[in-house]
Each structure stands twice: as structure tokens, then as C-alpha cells.
């Protein structure tokens, strides 16, 4: 469907692993940031309007 | 805007990652503020439709965590 | 009834009422300076002037004292009224040009400067003070003189003994003409008039004679302090009754003596903070900037006198350097009688220092002067480490004198460093870490009850009966049992409740009153009316997130009918206010933006229930744990995130529907995992309460680690006591012991667990309603100090074994060395094992007793004989046991060459290496948990990094898990001595009984439900559900379609996501609701 794989992340963190949680948040944020804005799949407001 | 910041929708399991996120708060760990959490009862509840809807609605990323 | 016109509108009032009273009732604002609801009107200030039309002509009257009459027409806001008032304000301002209140009023009326000659007065002669004094029953002051000479004064301008210095005149004075100082200097002949100190704010703030003792008081009702209330002195006043809308105040109430028939008594009188005034050298009584730690708590509190703003008392300057002095009123026989350790002060001082730095910023210098740093509680050592990391300075020195610095408000101290150098240092403020002591009234009570006390005036208890007093049927918990912190007090409390309840278990529910159930309002089909409450959580949220902005933003969202912010949403008074608001505004959906739903959702749902709303018409958004706390440095982004989360929650809650909960039976059986002291104590307690209990023990005997212990510090023989407990278990019909048994699997959930037990190659199933985890711990096998290479190098438990075996070799010893913190408080195990200091000192004393000529050395880092354990530390020093401190970076070295043991350690006094030749080395090895990951998975309960189980709440839920129906005690929770294990075993059982005793519980309403019409009978849901909740309907119109058993359903949503026909809905987390959140996320702000 043309979605970059790095846009969707999946992880498994236990409720005690706050450190891992923070690591994953940082990692996900960085990877998504590296891809740039999601333009391909998002509905385009302009066309709708 | 100085730098573009992505908006990431995260679907967190109430029992696992949501708890971890709470604990991270209790421990005052600091992390980027890009994520918007949707609490789900379990990752079993997660449907691909949610991820697609989030991206279609303009989210820049989706993170599902159990 | 009198009918007249007010600003053209018909209004009604009672015969004898004045215009102002009626106007107030109709919400028409008339300004006034001399009116007071409780006093007769006097028409002094003329500001309330209004226009009266009597049918023929207009004139001006004062609204406060003009009685109403039928047919009159009043205008309160005409052009001429306004002009008249403007003139009055101008005249008043000319008389009192510097009164802020008048300046503000003048500004409102557009007066820049009065045209008249100004006088520099500050009294407008409103007479409120005189009338109020009369009402007080005193009439100490009056308006004297005439015309321009008129003023408020006492007779003959002398200080009067009629004046009681109640301050009522000052409290009503609108201009600030009368102040407390003025009463002191000019009015009363009494000495030293001060505001009534607020007990809650440690006297840092005043309070009124009518007051709520503290914001979270239960019940949250004001009380009248009879000792200071004027009514009880003169018979006058009663002003409060005029303001109470519900006539709740009755000054004639008397104290009542109520007789209660009870089966047991629990003593929880707590402690009183030590009063340091008697230490002259600390200047606490004389210098405002020497404060106690209790005062510091209030200063740091968001609800405190400075709203959490850190300022020192003398000049309200922000301090740059603060010092804490430890052990003030503790561990001190020279200057006071408290030779015990107060247990909690080290930790609270560190906490205060860290919070002070959080409030005031990193450049605040915090220094703690201490003797031994005692952070022996769970996760406390880590906090200590963290404090050092963020720059809190720790100086091991006991300072004896605080000198005020002449010419400033600062304080100078002289202290000796560890290296022996004398230092001078100046601080802006000094906090005395005061200890805990038993109130003399409590001592008197104990005497009356015939209860034995300890040397330190705490309640005497035995190690194996830690909550029983010396009187049968009387139990104790909290700091009266010994100085202790919150978790330990909470554990005590649960245990005392269990012990007190055990004797009464047959009487359970015989005098139960059922609370009134608020009928649920049917909101079905109503348009959503959402209330949004944004919590400040003191400064926890409001310190980062712009709460008013989030609140105002919420107001713009669809269907939001009510919005507000609360200081603490979870406090009882706020809860009551919220439920009233819900009723008043007919709200049918509620959003609370606060902490986490995982801890607080049930509380707010209770509020909804009390307001007659179904508890599922609620959504919480997490703007603390997942916002303000984790984005501290980005207030703007955190505020944006909070707004997003509120928007998402509002759009979800609009779609919420009322849900029903299924009722579930609680299996009246308990399973205890682990047969040590804690597990056995839990089992005995459960059995005493009448519940069948199964102990599952891996090993071949009951007793656990206690089997290795010789005696307690009180001298009790552990083995004797232990076999008593084991006998009790074996003889108790309600307890079944499964030895050599492993837990293979656990299914089910709270109230209905099904566990598989494996023993002797066979497997059996046990059904139980609750589970207690008491899996214990063990002593670390040391990896250092040549352990295992020489029989003369032992662990503490191995030495205990020698004592138990009466090893003759112990009598032959010339020298013995104990090394503390072996495997504790290091990088691998950054926690304190809590028991080892006491254990080693006790064993050292035992060696001395066995062989008085022996030289005993204890090599330690900090001695942590908390509470009354401190006495044995004192005794050890008196008996000549030598204590040598070492540091983690410079550990002692054990040398075995030549068949002799030589230990080299750097002496902390001399600063030089010291060699000790010895015959025995005892290593105080760490307590390590039996880290059981399988068990953690069975019950879905977390383990921390050290392998201890993580309780529900560190302070308030220490003996239970966040998972319902699973409880925790003993070493599995944290290292602890026998008495604390017994207490926690009972506490865990006590918590379990609260569940068992209910017999039925309600399952969640957030379960899956099928729409049989859409079901294609594919059976995917039946195959994916881990709880076997779905099945096929067997009869009726939908035979063959799927249905879901709401009792078994855990609401995970697996079936919902896998249903290809879309025939399953998950109530509370349905597609619509989740999509609503997703859509809301992207809406433009």
C-alpha cells in the first residue's frame, strides 16, 4: 500500500520495564522523524475541501 | 516552526506498556512528547484498521505495544 | 410578601427586609463598604445609594438600611446613581488617598485624583469595627468625637482590658486601618497578640477559630475551636450562624461520652515530632530561619503556606544554601532521652533536599549533615544514590551549634569533616530533622490500659506477635509500636486489623449497615453533556502543563457543558464537589484529566456512582504520568499534548454507553505460595478468619530462612518459636500443607483461580479465590573475601548455625571480624539488605558473651540499626566492640597467606591502613530474592530490577499486587527481619480477607458482546479466546451463532479484532470509540 515499514512499529514491553519503554519511544520517534511527514497515505485535506 | 516534529499514535496495552509508561512517569524519565497514547485493553484488541485510520488521518507513525 | 420593581423588573421580598437584601437575592450588585450580613445596617458609607421612585418623584436612599414597601421602584444603576457614587468615592479617596481598596474603586469610577483637599487618613468611619465589637459582646471600641473629630477609639484613648484581642474588628475593616499590630499597640491591654497558629501548617500560617483541620480531613467538616471562639467567652458573636445556609451550627452542643461494646481494640495513636526548642545551641526557638523538617514539609507542599514556593521565614528570600541536621532528638542520650533511631529522618531529609532542588532549581545547594545514612527501605538506596548524582551534598558530621550571623539573617555552623578538619560554613536556612517520639498522653493511655512500654516509650511487642500488646485483645500499629515509615505503618495496620478481626470472625457482618445506593439516572438517548475536570495535582501537573489553558481549551470542545480545574481532584472534598456539579449541571459524561486511570479510575468512577451516573460514562486522560512528569522541560509541548489527550478523551466519552457488570462468586479458599515465616503467618491468619488455606512449598519442610536463624535481638529462640508456628499450622484443620510441591500453572482470575500443583510426579488442581505470594529469598553466596576457601570465613547464617550447634570452637576465639554490606549497596545490588547490621551486632555481642576476652571488629559502611535496634549498637560500643568504617571504593582486604587470616582496612579516624589478625571472619551477605519469573507470569505481576516483586503501591499498597486477588509478603517483597515478615504475612492475609469476605465481586463492564445477527458462525472467536468466553448459542432463534460469557470475558478484545463479520463489540473500547480518538487526534487545534 506504499506505507514505509518504519512508520509502523510493534513492541512488547512489560509493565515493569519503564527503561525499555523510554528507549522504544525514543527509537520510534527518531525513525518516524527520519522518514519525514506522512504524505503518501494521509488523506489530503485540500482535495476534500 | 524550528524543526518538524512527527505525530505518532501509540496503542498501548493497558496491562503492559501502559503500565510501563506510568512507571516511566513515576521515575521521572524524560522522553520526546510526540506520542499520543490510546489505551487499549490488550494488543489483541488492535485491528489493522486502527493503524490505517491513524495514518489516513495524518499521523506520521503508529506504534503498537503490548 | 412585598412586590416592587428593581431596575424595571418585578421582584419580591419579605416585610422588614432592606433593598440591599432583596437585590442580593436577585443577583443585582450594589456596591457597599459598611455592610455586613451579620450586623445591623448603619448607612455609614453611602456608597449603596440607589434611586427610589415613589410614584411622584425620585430621591436617593441608602439601599442597606431602607426598608422595602409595596409598589416602590428602585433603580440601582442609573446615570445619576452612578454620578452620586462617584462623588462619594471621590470624597472617601480624598480622606484616605493611600488605601488600595479605595484606589481601585476610584479607578473603576474613572477618578484619577480627587478634586478635594486630601487628608492622609486610612479610616472611612464605616463603623463596621464598632458594630462588630459590640456583636462580640465587648464594645471595647466606639466612634468618638463629632464631625471632623470623629474616630474609632477606646475610652479615654487608653489600652483597654475589655478588648479580648479577638481580631474581629481587624477582620472586617475594609481599609486596613485596624491591624493585629494596632490592636496590640493601641487597643488591647493584653500582651503579645498573635494569629491562632494553624496546626496543619506547623504554625507557619494562622487559622480561624472556625476551621477545617486540614484539606483532606475526614469528615471534611469545619469545627469550632472552643478555646478561642469568642462566643464561648462572652456569649456574643455567633456571626458564623448567619452565614451557614443550612443551620448546621449549634453552639449549645456539649461533649458526649459514648459507650461502645467492642471485642478488640487497636491502638494507632501515632507519634509526636520532637520539639527542638530545648536545644539552645540550635537556636530553633529564637531564629526564624532554623526550622524543623515538619515545617519544611509544609513549605515544600503545594497546599502549604507558600504554595510550594521555597522561601525562608525571616525575609521571604529564596534560600540559596540549605542544610539539614540529622538525628535531632534521636540517637541522643546527652541532650534528650531518645537514644533510639527514628528510622524515617534520613529518607525524608533526602526527599526534602531533592524536592527543594526540584522546586528551586539546580543552583540551590543542599547539604545533609548526618552520622549514618539509613536508607534501608525498598528503593531508598537508589534514591540516595540519585540524590548524590544530582548534587545533594552529604557530610558525615554531627553539628552541635548554629550561630546567627550578625548583621544578616544567615546562619553559621562549625563542623569537623571526616578528615578531621574544622570547617566554617554559612547557610541561608537550616532544617532540623527532628525525630519521632511517643506523646505523653499516649504514655498515660498505655498506663491506663496496663500496656507495657519499651525503654523508648513505644509499645512493647514480641517478635512473633508484632501487633499484640501485653494486654490480650489490644493491638497496636504504626509509630506507637516503634518509629517507622508509611509502608511499614500500612503493613502494621492491615496486620492489626487481621489480628483484631480473627477473634471476631464469627461475628462478621452481624452489625453491617448497607450504604444507600444512589439510583442510576437513565441517560440513554440523551445528548451528551460532558463535564471536563482538569487536575493540577498540586504542582505535579500544574508546574509543567498550563492547566487553565487546557481547561479553557476543553470548554471549546463539542458537548462540553462544564469545565473546571481542581488542586487535587482525588481529595475527598473535591470528590463531593464533583458529584454535586454532575447533578447540578445534569452532566451525563465525565472526563478527568489527571494522573493515571490505572490507580485513580475506580475512585472517579465511584464519584460518578454517587452522582447517579453509570460509572462507564467516564474517561480519564493521563496528563501526569504520561505528560507533565515525562516532559518536564517542555511545558509548551506538554500543554499541547494535554490538549490533544483531552480532545481525544472528550470525543471518546461522548460515545460511551452505560454498561452493566456481571456478578461473580469468590471461591472461599486461599493459596499461599511459600512456607516460610511470612507464608505461614499469612496462612494462620487466613485460617483464623475461617478460610480454608493451602500452603504450597517447594522444599521438604516448612520454616524457610528462619530455620537458619539462632535468636532474635530480644533473645527469643527462633527455632523454638518457629516450631511453635509449624505445630500451629499442622494442627489447624483449615490449613493444608503441600510440601515438595511446585506450581505448574495458574488459570483464571480474581475469585476464581485454578492452579496446577505438581508433586511426586503427579499433578493436582486447586481452586482458590485468592493467592498470597511468599516465595522468600536467601542469603547470597559471597564471591569475595576468599569465601569458600577457608572454614574460618563464614556467612552470618553459617555463624548462626555454629551458635545453634553450640560449636565449642567459638569459645576458643581471640578475635572475630564482621564485614558488612557483602553484596549489598553495590553496583550489582544497589539496595540495602536491611537486616545485616542488626544481625552482625547481635552476633558480635553473642560472641562476647561466649568468650568475654575476644576482640570483635565490625567493618561497616553505615550502621543501620533503625528504630529501637539502635540500643544494641549502643550496647556493642559499651562492651568494647570496635566499629571501623570503610568505603565502597576502599573495601577491606582479606589475606590468607601463612595460614593466618589478616584483614587490612583503612581506619576512618586515622586515615591509615590497619591490619587485624583474626580467627573468624563473618560476611554479612546480602539477602537475594528467589526471583521467580514463571510465577510472575502466572499471575501477571511485575518484578523489579533486583528481582523483588513490585507491590501495588510503595506506600499505600505494600502487601498486595496491582493484579486483583494476588497478595505479597516477606522477603519476596524486600529484605526484612522476622517481626516485619510476620506482620506482612498477616497484612497480606488481611488484604486477602477483604476480598474473600465480600463473597461476590462484580466483573468489569468492559466485556465483548456479539451481535448474533451479523455472526457467520465461523468459530474464530471460540478458537482465539484464551479464557473460553465465547460459545455457540444452543437454542432459540440464534442457535448456532456465537455468544460471550461476560463473567469469563476479560475484555481483551482479541475476538473483536479477529471477527471477520464485525459481529463482536467490545463495550467501552468499541471501534467507534477508538476511531473517535484517532480522528480527534488530528483535528486542528
Residue of A nearest to B63 (CA): A9
Lowest mean pLDDT among C706-720, C907-921, C967-981: C907-921
Going by CATH, does the domain composed of C2-77 fall within 3.10.20.740?
yes
Residue C931, CA atoms < 13 Å, CB-side half-sphere: 10
Residue C331 pLDDT more than 60?
yes
Instruction: Give per-residue pLDDT as tens, C817-850.
Output: 999 999 999 999 999 999 999 999 999 999 999 9
Residue B1 belongs to a domain:
no
Instruction: Express each pLDDT in C143-190 by its tens digit.
Output: 988 888 888 988 888 888 889 889 899 999 999 999 888 888 888 888
Q: Burial level of C773, CB count in 10 A (0-12/13-18/19+)?
A: buried
Q: Do C943 and A15 touch (CB under 8 A)?
A: no
Q: What is the mean pLDDT of residues C775-788?
A: 97
- List, for residues C340-367, the tens digit of each pLDDT value: 999 999 999 999 999 999 889 889 999 9
User: C665-776+930-1002 — its CATH code?
Assistant: 3.50.50.60
- CATH homologous superfamily of C779-928: FAD/NAD(P)-binding domain (3.50.50.60)
The grid coordinates of residue C800 equal 548462626
List C1062's β-bridge partners, or say none. Answer: none
The residue of C537, C630, C1061 whose CB has the most chain B CBs within 10 angstroms, and thus the best one to mutate to test that interface, is C630
- What per-residue confidence (pLDDT) applies to C660? 87
Q: Distance (Å, rounded) from C-alpha C610 to C-alpha C608?
A: 5
Show the 3-state SS of C256-305: CCCCCCCCCEEECCCCEECCHHHCHHHCCCCCCCEEEHHHHHHHHCCCCC
Å from B31 to nearest chain C CA?
A: 6
Q: Give domain status of residue A23, yes or no.
A: yes
Q: What is the pLDDT of residues C511-543, one digit of tens each?
A: 888 888 889 989 888 999 999 999 998 888 988
For residue B2, being part of any structural domain is answered with no
DSSP H helical ranges for C313-451: 345-360, 380-389, 440-449
Residues of C in Cβ contact (< 8 Å) with A15: 942, 962
Enumerate the residues of chain B whose CB falls inside 8 A of the CB of residue A10. Answer: 63-65
CB contact under 8 A, A43 and B56: yes
Q: Given a cut of 70, is residue A47 above it in pLDDT?
A: no
pLDDT in tens, C3-45: 999 999 899 999 999 999 999 888 788 999 999 989 999 888 9
What ipTM was assigned to the predicted interfaces of this complex?
0.95
Total CB pairs under 8 A between chain B and C: 110
Give the start-to-end residue ranges of the domains of chain C: 2-77, 208-247, 272-437, 530-619, 665-776+930-1002, 779-928, 1008-1066
Residue A46 has pLDDT above 60, yes or no: no
Q: Is residue B3 part of a domain?
A: no
Q: Residue B1 has what pLDDT? A: 45
A5 lies in a domain? Answer: no
Q: Are C128 and C106 in contact (CB under 8 A)?
A: no
CB contact under 8 A, B31 and C630: yes
Of A14, A31, A35, Cβ closest to residue B20: A14
Is residue A4 one of the residues assigned to a domain?
no
| Set of chain A residues whose Cβ sits within 8 Å of the Cβ of B57 | 42-43
Q: Given this model, what pLDDT does residue C308 score?
A: 82
Going by CATH, does the domain composed of C272-437 fall within 3.90.1150.10?
no
Q: Could you report the per-residue pLDDT of C898-941, keeping only the tens digit for each?
A: 899 999 999 888 889 999 999 999 999 999 999 999 999 898 88
Q: What CATH number belongs to C1008-1066?
A: 3.30.70.20
Chain C positions touching A14 (Cβ under 8 A) are 942
| CA C254 from centre of chain | 33
Q: What is the pLDDT of residue A49?
A: 35
Nearest CA distance, A16 vs chain C (angstrom): 6
Interface test with C, best of A13, A15, A46 (most C CBs within 10 A): A15
Indicate if C665-776+930-1002 has the same CATH topology as C272-437.
yes
C1030-1032/C1042-1044 β-pairing: antiparallel
CB contacts of B33 in chain C (<8 Å) are 627, 630-631, 634, 637-638, 640-641
Confidence (pLDDT) at C221 = 81
Residues of C in contact with B55 (CB under 8 A): none
Write out chain A residues lying below 8 Å of C962, CB-based: 15
Query: The whole model's pTM is what?
Result: 0.77
Backbone Cα Rg of chain B: 13
DSSP state of B56: H
What per-residue confidence (pLDDT) applies to C1083? 67
B48–chain A Cβ distance below 8 A for any pair? no
What is the nearest CA distance from A10 to chain C, expressed in angstroms?
16
CA distances from C242 to C39, C250, C559 (A): 10, 12, 39
- Burial zone of C133 (CB within 10 Å; 0-12 exposed, 13-18 middle, 19+ buried): buried
Residue-wise pLDDT for C166-178, tens only, equals 989 999 999 999 9
Interface test with B, best of A17, A26, A29 (most B CBs within 10 A): A29
Contact A38 B61 (CB under 8 A): yes
Q: Do A21 and B51 touch (CB under 8 A)?
A: no
Inspect the interface and report whether the beta carbons of B40 and C1077 lie closer than 8 Å: no
The C-alpha of B24 sits at a distance from chain C's nearest C-alpha, in angstroms, of: 7
The pLDDT confidence band at residue C246, using thresholds 50, 70 and 90, is confident
- B15-63 pLDDT, tens digit per residue, is 889 988 998 888 888 999 999 999 998 888 898 889 999 998 889 999 9
Give the pLDDT of residue B2.
59
Which residues on chain C are in Cβ contact (under 8 Å) with A16? 942-944, 950
Query: Containing domain of residue B58, as a range?
Result: 8-65
Does residue A33 lie in a domain region? yes
pLDDT higher than threshold 60 for residue C629: yes
pLDDT of A1: 66
With respect to residue A40, please indicate whether it lies within any of the assigned structural domains.
yes
Chain B nearest CA to A43, separation (Å): 5
Distance from CA of B65 to the nearest CA of A (A): 5
Residue B22 C-alpha, separation from nearest chain A C-alpha, in angstroms: 8
* d(CA A2, nearest CA chain C) in Å: 21
In terms of CA atoms, which chain B residue is nearest residue C940?
Answer: B15
Instruction: Nearest by CB to C630, from B14, B19, B29: name it.
Output: B29
Average pLDDT over residues C1031-1042: 90
Share of chain C above pLDDT 70, in %: 100
Any idea of the CA torsion for C24, C30, C36, C40, to the nearest 10 degrees?
-90
Region C952-969: mean pLDDT is 93
Does the pLDDT at position C262 exceed 70?
yes
Residue numbers of the domain that contains A32: 13-48
Residue C746: strand pairing partners: C755
Number of domains present in the structure of chain A: 1
Backbone angles phi, psi at C290, to 5 degrees: -95, 110
Of B35, B58, B63, which has the smallest distance from its Cβ to A38's Cβ? B58
Position A2 in a domain: no
Provide CB contacts within 8 A for C158, sequence distance 6+: none
What separation in angstroms does the CA of A25 have from each of A5, C636, C1069? 17, 19, 24
Over 50: is that where the pLDDT of C582 sits? yes
- Chain C neighbours (≥3 Cβ pairs under 8 A) are A, B
CATH value of C530-619 in 3.20.20, 3.40.50, 1.10.10, 1.10.730: 3.40.50
Amino acid at each position: 500500500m506504499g506505507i514505509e515499514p518504519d512508520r509502523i512499529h510493534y513492541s512488547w514491553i512489560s509493565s515493569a520495564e519503564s527503561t525499555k519503554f523510554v528507549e522504544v519511544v525514543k527509537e520510534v520517534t527518531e525513525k518516524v522523524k527520519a522518514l519525514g511527514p506522512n504524505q503518501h497515505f494521509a488523506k489530503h485535506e485540500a482535495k476534500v475541501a | 516552526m524550528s524543526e518538524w516534529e512527527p505525530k505518532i499514535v501509540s496503542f498501548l496495552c493497558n496491562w503492559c506498556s501502559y503500565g510501563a509508561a506510568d512507571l516511566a512517569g513515576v521515575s521521572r524519565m524524560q522522553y520526546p512528547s510526540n506520542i499520543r497514547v490510546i489505551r487499549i485493553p490488550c494488543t489483541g484488541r488492535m485491528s489493522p484498521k486502527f493503524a490505517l485510520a491513524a495514518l489516513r488521518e495524518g499521523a506520521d507513525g503508529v506504534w503498537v505495544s503490548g | 410578601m412585598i412586590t416592587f420593581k428593581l431596575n424595571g423588573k418585578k421582584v419580591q421580598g419579605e416585610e422588614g427586609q432592606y433593598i440591599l437584601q432583596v437585590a442580593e437575592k436577585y443577583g443585582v450588585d450594589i456596591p457597599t463598604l459598611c455592610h455586613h450580613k451579620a450586623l445591623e445596617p448603619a448607612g455609614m458609607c453611602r456608597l449603596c445609594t440607589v434611586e427610589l421612585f415613589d410614584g411622584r418623584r425620585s430621591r436617593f436612599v441608602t439601599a442597606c438600611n431602607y426598608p422595602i414597601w409595596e409598589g416602590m421602584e428602585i433603580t440601582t444603576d442609573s446615570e445619576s446613581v452612578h454620578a452620586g457614587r462617584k462623588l462619594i468615592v471621590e470624597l472617601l479617596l480624598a480622606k484616605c488617598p493611600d488605601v488600595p481598596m479605595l484606589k481601585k474603586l476610584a479607578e473603576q469610577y474613572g477618578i484619577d485624583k480627587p478634586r478635594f483637599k486630601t487628608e492622609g487618613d486610612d479610616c472611612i468611619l464605616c463603623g463596621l469595627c464598632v458594630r462588630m465589637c459590640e456583636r462580640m459582646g465587648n464594645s471595647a471600641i466606639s466612634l468618638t468625637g463629632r464631625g471632623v473629630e470623629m474616630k474609632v477609639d477606646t475610652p479615654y484613648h487608653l489600652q483597654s482590658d475589655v478588648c479580648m484581642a479577638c481580631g474581629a474588628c481587624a477582620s472586617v475593616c475594609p481599609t486596613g486601618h485596624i491591624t493585629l499590630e494596632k490592636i496590640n499597640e493601641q487597643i488591647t491591654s493584653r500582651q503579645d497578640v498573635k494569629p491562632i497558629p494553624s496546626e496543619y501548617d506547623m504554625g507557619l500560617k494562622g487559622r480561624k477559630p472556625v476551621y477545617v483541620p486540614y484539606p483532606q480531613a475526614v469528615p471534611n467538616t469545619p469545627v469550632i475551636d472552643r478555646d478561642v471562639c469568642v462566643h464561648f467567652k462572652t456569649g456574643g458573636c455567633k456571626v458564623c450562624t448567619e452565614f451557614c445556609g443550612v443551620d448546621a451550627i449549634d453552639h449549645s452542643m456539649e461533649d458526649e461520652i459514648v459507650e461502645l461494646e467492642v471485642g478488640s481494640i487497636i491502638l494507632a495513636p501515632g507519634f509526636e515530632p520532637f520539639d527542638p526548642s530545648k536545644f539552645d545551641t540550635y537556636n530553633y526557638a529564637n531564629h526564624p530561619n532554623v526550622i524543623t523538617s515538619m515545617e519544611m514539609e509544609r513549605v515544600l507542599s503545594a497546599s502549604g503556606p507558600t504554595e510550594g514556593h521555597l522561601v525562608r521565614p525571616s525575609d521571604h528570600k529564596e534560600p540559596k544554601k540549605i542544610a539539614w541536621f540529622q538525628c535531632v532528638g534521636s540517637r541522643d542520650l546527652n541532650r534528650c532521652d531518645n537514644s533510639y533511631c527514628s528510622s524515617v529522618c534520613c529518607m525524608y531529609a533526602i526527599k526534602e533536599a531533592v524536592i527543594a532542588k526540584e522546586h528551586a532549581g539546580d543552583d540551590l545547594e543542599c547539604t545533609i549533615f548526618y552520622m549514618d545514612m539509613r536508607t534501608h527501605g525498598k528503593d531508598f538506596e537508589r534514591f540516595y544514590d540519585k540524590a548524590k548524582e544530582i548534587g545533594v551534598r552529604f557530610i558525615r558530621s554531627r553539628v552541635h551549634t548554629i550561630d546567627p550571623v550578625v548583621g544578616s539573617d544567615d546562619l553559621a555552623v562549625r563542623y569537623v569533616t571526616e578528615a578531621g578538619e574544622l570547617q566554617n560554613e554559612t547557610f541561608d536556612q537550616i532544617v532540623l530533622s527532628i525525630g519521632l517520639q511517643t506523646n505523653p498522653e499516649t504514655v498515660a493511655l498505655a498506663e491506663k490500659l496496663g500496656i507495657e512500654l519499651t525503654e523508648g516509650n513505644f509499645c512493647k511487642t514480641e517478635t512473633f506477635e508484632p501487633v499484640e500488646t501485653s494486654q490480650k485483645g489490644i493491638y497496636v500499629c504504626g509509630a506507637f509500636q516503634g518509629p517507622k515509615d508509611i509502608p511499614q505503618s500500612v503493613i502494621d495496620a492491615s496486620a492489626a486489623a487481621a489480628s483484631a478481626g480473627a477473634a471476631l470472625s464469627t461475628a462478621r457482618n452481624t452489625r453491617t449497615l448497607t450504604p444507600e445506593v444512589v439510583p442510576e439516572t437513565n441517560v440513554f438517548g440523551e445528548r451528551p453533556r460532558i463535564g471536563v475536570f482538569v487536575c493540577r495535582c498540586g504542582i505535579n501537573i500544574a508546574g509543567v502543563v498550563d492547566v487553565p489553558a487546557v481547561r479553557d481549551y476543553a470548554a471549546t470542545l463539542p458537548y462540553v457543558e462544564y469545565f473546571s480545574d481542581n488542586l487535587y481532584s482525588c481529595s475527598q472534598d473535591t470528590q463531593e464537589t464533583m458529584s454535586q456539579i454532575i447533578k447540578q449541571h445534569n452532566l451525563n459524561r465525565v472526563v478527568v484529566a489527571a494522573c493515571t486511570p490505572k490507580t485513580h479510575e475506580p475512585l472517579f468512577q465511584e464519584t460518578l456512582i454517587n452522582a447517579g451516573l453509570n460509572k462507564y460514562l467516564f474517561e480519564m486522560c493521563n496528563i501526569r504520568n504520561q505528560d507533565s512528569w515525562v516532559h518536564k522541560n517542555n511545558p509548551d509541548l506538554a500543554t499541547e499534548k494535554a490538549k490533544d489527550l483531552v480532545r481525544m478523551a472528550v470525543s471518546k466519552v461522548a460515545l460511551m454507553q452505560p454498561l452493566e457488570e456481571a456478578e461473580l462468586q469468590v471461591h472461599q479458599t486461599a493459596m499461599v505460595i511459600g512456607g516460610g515465616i511470612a507464608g505461614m503467618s499469612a496462612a494462620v491468619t487466613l485460617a483464623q478468619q475461617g478460610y480454608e488455606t493451602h500452603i504450597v512449598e517447594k522444599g521438604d519442610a516448612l520454616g524457610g530462612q528462619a530455620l537458619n536463624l539462632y535468636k532474635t535481638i530480644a533473645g527469643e529462640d527462633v527455632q523454638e518459636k518457629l516450631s511453635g508456628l509449624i505445630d500451629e499450622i499442622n494442627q489447624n484443620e483449615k490449613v493444608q500443607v503441600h510440601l515438595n510441591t511446585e506450581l505448574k500453572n495458574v488459570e483464571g482470575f480474581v475469585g476464581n483461580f485454578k492452579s496446577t500443583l505438581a508433586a511426586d510426579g503427579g499433578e493436582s488442581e486447586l481452586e482458590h479465590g485468592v493467592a498470597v505470594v511468599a516465595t522468600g529469598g536467601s542469603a547470597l553466596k559471597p564471591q569475595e573475601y576468599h569465601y569458600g576457601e577457608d572454614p574460618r570465613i563464614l556467612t552470618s547464617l553459617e555463624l548462626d548455625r555454629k551458635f545453634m550447634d553450640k560449636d565449642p570452637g567459638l569459645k576458643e576465639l581471640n578475635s572475630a571480624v564482621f564485614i558488612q554490606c557483602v553484596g549489598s549497596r553495590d553496583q550489582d545490588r544497589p539496595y540495602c539488605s536491611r537486616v545485616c547490621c542488626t544481625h552482625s551486632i547481635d552476633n558480635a555481642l553473642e560472641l562476647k558473651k561466649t568468650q568475654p576476652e575476644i576482640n570483635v571488629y565490625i567493618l561497616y559502611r553505615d550502621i543501620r540499626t533503625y528504630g529501637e535496634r539502635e540500643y544494641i549498637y549502643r550496647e556493642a560500643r559499651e562492651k568494647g566492640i570496635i566499629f571501623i568504617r570503610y568505603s565502597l571504593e576502599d573495601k577491606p582486604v582479606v589475606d590468607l597467606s601463612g595460614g593466618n587470616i589478616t584483614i587490612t582496612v583503612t581506619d576512618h579516624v586515622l586515615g591509615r591502613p590497619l591490619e587485624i589478625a583474626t580467627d573468624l571472619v563473618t560476611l554479612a551477605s546480602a539477602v537475594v530474592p528467589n526471583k521467580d519469573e514463571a510465577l510472575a507470569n502466572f499471575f501477571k505481576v511485575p518484578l523489579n530490577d533486583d528481582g523483588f516483586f513490585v507491590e501495588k503501591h510503595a506506600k499505600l499498597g505494600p502487601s498486595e499486587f496491582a493484579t486483583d486477588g494476588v497478595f505479597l509478603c516477606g522477603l519476596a517483597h524486600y529484605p526484612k527481619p522476622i517481626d516485619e515478615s510476620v506482620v506482612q504475612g498477616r497484612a497480606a492475609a488481611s488484604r486477602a480477607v477483604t476480598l474473600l469476605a465480600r463473597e461476590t465481586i462484580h466483573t468489569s463492564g468492559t466485556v465483548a458482546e456479539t451481535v448474533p445477527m451479523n455472526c457467520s458462525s465461523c468459530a474464530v472467536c471460540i478458537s482465539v479466546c484464551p479464557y473460553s468466553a465465547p460459545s455457540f448459542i444452543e437454542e432459540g432463534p440464534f442457535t448456532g451463532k456465537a455468544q460471550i460469557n461476560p463473567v469469563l470475558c476479560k475484555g481483551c478484545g482479541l475476538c473483536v479484532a479477529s471477527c471477520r463479520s464485525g459481529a463482536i463489540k467490545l463495550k467501552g473500547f468499541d471501534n467507534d470509540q477508538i476511531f473517535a480518538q484517532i480522528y480527534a487526534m488530528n483535528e486542528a487545534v
